Amino acid sequence: MHGIIKIIAAILLVTIIVTVQQDQRRAVPAANTSSLYEEIKEKQKGYEFPPENARIDKVWKKIPGLNGRKVNLEKSYENMKKSNTFDEKKLVYDQVEPEVKLEDLPAAPIYKGNEQKNMVTFLINVSWGAEYIPSMLETLDKHQVKANFFIDGAFARDNPSHVQMIEEKNHLIGSHGFGHPDFYTLRESSAKENLVKTNELLASFSDEPIRWFGPPSGSFSNETVTAAESLDMLTILWTVDTIDWKKPTREVLLERVQNNVHNGATILMHPTKVTSESLDPLITQLKKNYQIVTLDVLMSEKR
């Protein structure tokens, strides 16, 4: 009997030892001791970038920051573990936010996105040209592109069905003020009053707050920008102008954009006949080198 008990005790002891060893192996990931894990750890710095703070540029005013990029060692190892071979395409990254963001900067307009973002955006100012909006929306829809429509409050009042069409296609709606005034000549209180009036009209079409303001003709003053920011709005201008209101040919418009486009570009246009006809080849042309996104995407810190 005692011999049997000793045998059982020995078996239990071995079982306990094996279980503990298995638990220890599970508690300490194999990745920590594998050569692949060490290789990823050794190479990670070559794939990482520090975050870039938002800043005020002497020429371009507010420039958005950009998240940094850090390799997630554990997830990257899990991605490569099956093949047990380092593959940079299987690296997994975590984004690191900058310390200074757009909202931390003093009042100033924005002309473009961060230069490291391989993206552009369309700024479509709408005070007239209702007849061209349906065809432009159709072209944008065809290419699955979202644009920014800056709507004049008076236009929204007189053409509600067109504004509704823009909203239903999930494009970003911004403010173009009410009645196409020269905001450079307005005092801060008058500018704010005009923007509030426009926002109240546009709010009837969209559940999203109106965050962006495109001043008519690009005319503004420091008081304009301050009035907008007091309403949690950012003033946006442009770096590439189609000058479509001068009725160029389609070829001239396309060449004008192609010769001036860049990372982070903001491309100004209006609902005109030439823009409506040029939009399809323009999007095709731009998509070869850039993503076409809304302002919310272009101006965010996300890579």
Superfamily of domain 119-298: Glycoside hydrolase/deacetylase (3.20.20.370)
Average pLDDT over residues 215-232: 97
Strand partners, 150: 125, 174
How much is the pLDDT for 25?
45
> Among 275, 121, 151, 153, which residue's Cα sits nearest to residue 214?
151
How many CB atoms are located within 10 Å of the residue 218 CB?
17
> Among 229, 233, 301, 230, which residue's Cα sits nearest to residue 264?
301
| The pLDDT of residue 9 is above 90 | no
**Amino acid letter, 255:** E
Per the confidence metrics, is the pTM higher than 0.75? yes
> Among 98, 90, 96, 99, which residue's Cα sits nearest to residue 70?
96
pLDDT tens across 151-170, in order?
999 999 999 999 999 999 99
How much is the pLDDT for 26?
44
> With bands split at pLDDT 50, 70 and 90, how would you rate the model's confidence at 303?
confident
| The pLDDT of residue 29 is above 50 | no
Is the Cβ–Cβ distance between 168 and 146 less than 8 Å? no
pLDDT tens across 262-280, in order?
999 999 999 999 999 999 9
Average pLDDT over residues 86-100: 96
155's tokens: 């236009």
Average pLDDT over residues 82-99: 95
Average pLDDT over residues 131-148: 98
Alpha carbon distances (Å) from 190 to 56, 156, 196: 26, 20, 10
Between CA 180 and CA 178 the distance in angstroms is: 6
> With bands split at pLDDT 50, 70 and 90, how would you rate the model's confidence at 207?
confident
Average pLDDT over residues 175-200: 97
Residues in the chain: 303
- CA neighbours closer than 13 Å in the CB half-sphere of residue 58: 0
pLDDT tens across 33-71, in order?
589 999 999 999 999 999 999 999 999 999 999 999 999
Average pLDDT over residues 94-105: 95
Average pLDDT over residues 211-228: 97
| The pLDDT of residue 28 is above 50 | no
Percentage with pLDDT > 70 across the chain: 89
| Annotated domain spans of the chain | 1-30, 34-104, 119-298
